[in-house]
Structure 1
Amino acid sequence: MWYEINFNKLGVLMLPSFLRKPILVAYLQSLLVPIGNLHYQWKQKRLTDWYKINHTGQVCLLRKVLNDQLDVSERRIYIGDGNSFARKFIYTRAEHKPVFLGKMFIYRNSEYIGTGVDFIVYVPQAIINMRWNELNALINFYKLASKRYQIRAI
């Protein structure tokens, strides 16, 4: 590719042929070490940028990113759907609607339709304890802006 440059070889090729002595070539290559290091750092940054560009907020890709960054060996992090329960209301007699509730469960306010989370990230407790900020930063970077999430321990 166009960005694969061997600066040592390029420096030697740019020297006139009558100056290509071992001492001068070694001196020139020592002068080119900082440029080579800068080029290496640029290539590493390019690879991380390509990784970020190629991974989106889709569930499969978000799970892959989280496992690649936080749980490389065991890959235990997974993503589930958020809970969205319909609200049940109790009516008065004047409204002439059924008052019978049947079997009713009590949920947190964040678990109802329109107020709940869109997806739940299940993470091992050890990762939550040690790398909470990195986990939040990764999820916030890759998720869509309108999506809400919750992190739960496995």
Structure 2
Amino acid sequence: MNKYTVLKWEKLLLWLIPPILRKRTHAVWLNTLLAPLHSLYENILYKMQHTGQVIYLEKVLNEAFNITKEYDPNLSIQEKRKRGLIYIDESVKPSLQYLYLHKEYYEKDEVTPEGKIIKGKLRMPLFTIFNNDEYYKNKNNKPVYLAHFDDYTKVSYANFRVFIPEILVQNLTIPAELNGNASNPETEAINVTSIEYHNLLNFYKLAGKSYASYLYYMAT
């Protein structure tokens, strides 16, 4: 934090009190009256220093709901999962895939003005196609998912996903296959339906962006 934004409230208050009124009791009383302004200043300053970028949004979420963990923006998603951090990932909206006929993989032969035939070259397909034998011989070959028209018209997708470790979450109302119930005695459990959780996300996230909350289980 920049030094010019850090105020030494007790020292500032002492400077503003006339010398004749600089009594301990008077200073303590004025300090008590100044506490709400001090808290408001710190909260506004904190909000001004964070934006809707992923690293800042992750930082804010961890500092609000995962205070026992130290957030590091340089960690990969796998490392964040191992450390039990709240992190953000992209949406799961399927990408468009196209099917082509076999002949469409090849360019047609061309005939030059001199009558010379230039044989067409093999085009590179947009994705690799495996037959059944090739797929079962190499399990790393993932099948291509062809999105249906309904996937784009009847399904709504969030712009990003918020992943929360199961140890922090309580009273879940998120997808049934991810549902669970756990608590941590060292930290206050997150209720993903609470107004505080959604107010925090909606304040920092970019306007027009939607999100979905998911639970993940840490490896033991």
Instruction: Tell me what 1:118 maps to.
Output: 159
Unaligned runs of 5+ in 2: 72-84, 98-142, 171-188
- Any conservation in 1 of the 2:96–2:147 contact (CA below 8 Å)? no
Write out aligned runs for 1:120-135 (5 A).
Answer: 120-129=161-170, 130-132=189-191, 133=194, 134-135=196-197
> Are 1:151 and 2:160 counterparts?
no
Shift of 1:3: 5.4
- Any conservation in 1 of the 2:95–2:147 contact (CA below 8 Å)? no
Q: Out of 136-145 and 33-42, give the one that drifted further.
A: 33-42
Q: Out of 34-43 and 45-54, give the one that drifted further.
A: 34-43
Q: Deviations 1:83-140 (Å, cap 9, x if unpaired)?
A: 112579xxxxxxxxxxxxx965789x7x748831100000012433132223222111
Q: How many matched pairs?
A: 128
Q: Deviations 1:16-50 (Å, cap 9, x if unpaired)?
A: xxxxxxxx96xx43234221112233223211111
Percent of residue pairs bearing the same amino acid type: 26
SS of corresponding position for 1:146:
coil
Query: Residue 34 and residue 80 in structure 1: after superposition, are their counterparts in 2 closer, same or farther (change >3 A)?
Result: same
Instruction: Tell me what 2:40 maps to.
Output: 45
Query: Residue 83 and residue 4 in structure 1: after superposition, are their counterparts in 2 closer, same or farther (change >3 A)?
Result: same
Instruction: Tell me what 1:14 maps to.
Output: 19
Shift of 1:144: 1.8
Amino acid at match of 1:128: V
Root-mean-square deviation over aligned CA pairs = 3.4
- Any conservation in 1 of the 2:94–2:147 contact (CA below 8 Å)? no
TM-score between both structures, scaled by the size of structure 1:
0.65
SS of corresponding position for 1:83:
coil
- Which protein has the bigger helix share? 1
TM-score between both structures, scaled by the size of structure 2:
0.48
Instruction: Tell me what 1:140 maps to.
Output: 202
Query: Residue 53 and residue 37 in structure 1: after superposition, are their counterparts in 2 closer, same or farther (change >3 A)?
Result: same
Amino acid at match of 1:71: N
